[in-house]
Structure 1
């Protein structure tokens, strides 16, 4: 009988360990893949909810920032004050419910930007300060909120800033940015 050499033991161990190692790595890979797929499925489900919530949350701001000509263009709006309509929407129970949903499904950055915007409103009290500085602060906060919504919807690498988010619908956004 010949004596077993240490290389023979190593070869035997390798022939046993290789299938076990392959099986273990396959299981780990499958588990990681499944976790990523599940995360993507959840993000897809949340995306639709977020779009609906963001649209409702932004509606009063869209009304407030419409030009008077655009607001009056709709016959049913001619006798209505857009500020009263927007404020009424913001103070409604439905808006509060939607804001609560925002706090549950919005990204951290979106929720923080929304909080900052509304803390600014709350700090104004019953009679908001209509100074240029206050309006600039409010528009900057609204722009940041829009920018964070953009990022949460998949544009994380956006090169836009909060003022550029406002330029398409506020005619003098560049003037406000530069003051």
Structure 2
């Protein structure tokens, strides 16, 4: 009889203890997951801010091809400390593909390829835009590099030779 009472007591205490331990583990895992999500959201916000800073003067240059004053302002923005800082952030937070696309695009600008090889410079810009898309939102996108520029170039088919 004593052994039966001991088993009954152990069962009576064991079930609540298991529920408590299970709840504690569940709470710990949920808290950890929420913390990791919050960190990822902050990192995403930081990357978006960085990419916006990087893109602003480039968009200004492409949108204002005939406005020399706006183009000069965009070029001076690219040389600014804030822009360079955003470049360092991109190198730090961006994916490998993002960093390679950015470096390739910037090297094309530094070497003056936009004057001699505008199609190649635009292609590098399109690859950069596509890498932003993949880095932030959709790694498995089916879009191609030129799809990223079709919204802003009316005769893109002539430009890319399709």
TM-score range, shorter chain: 0.7 to 0.9
The aligned runs of 1:17-36 (5 Å cut-off) are none
Runs (4+) of structure 1 exceeding 4 A deviation are 26-38
What is residue 56 of structure 1 aligned with on the other side? 53
User: TM-score of the superposition, structure 2-length normalised?
Assistant: 0.73
Q: CA deviation at 1:89?
A: 0.8
Moved more, 29-38 or 40-49: 29-38
When normalised by structure 1's length, the TM-score is: 0.67
Q: CA offsets, 1:23-70, max 9 Å, x none? A: xxx99988877665544332211111111111110011101111457x
Q: Is the 8 A contact 1:65 1:170 kept in 2?
A: no
Cα RMSD of the aligned pairs, angstroms, is 3.5
Q: 2:61 touches 2:70 (CA, 8 Å); kept in 1?
A: no
Where structure 2 has 5 or more consecutive residues not aligned to the other structure, the ranges are 1-22
Alignment of 1:4-153 (within 5 A): 37-67=34-64, 80-82=69-71, 84-122=72-110, 124=111, 128=113, 130-131=115-116, 134-153=117-136
- Distance change (3 Å), C-alpha of 1:98 and 1:129: closer
Q: Does 1:172 find its partner at 2:145?
A: no
Structure 1 unaligned regions, length at least 5: 1-25, 72-76
2 CA distance for matches of 1:128 and 1:136?
9
Q: How many aligned positions are there?
A: 161
Q: Is the Cα–Cα contact under 8 Å of residues 53 and 102 in structure 1 kept in the other structure?
A: yes
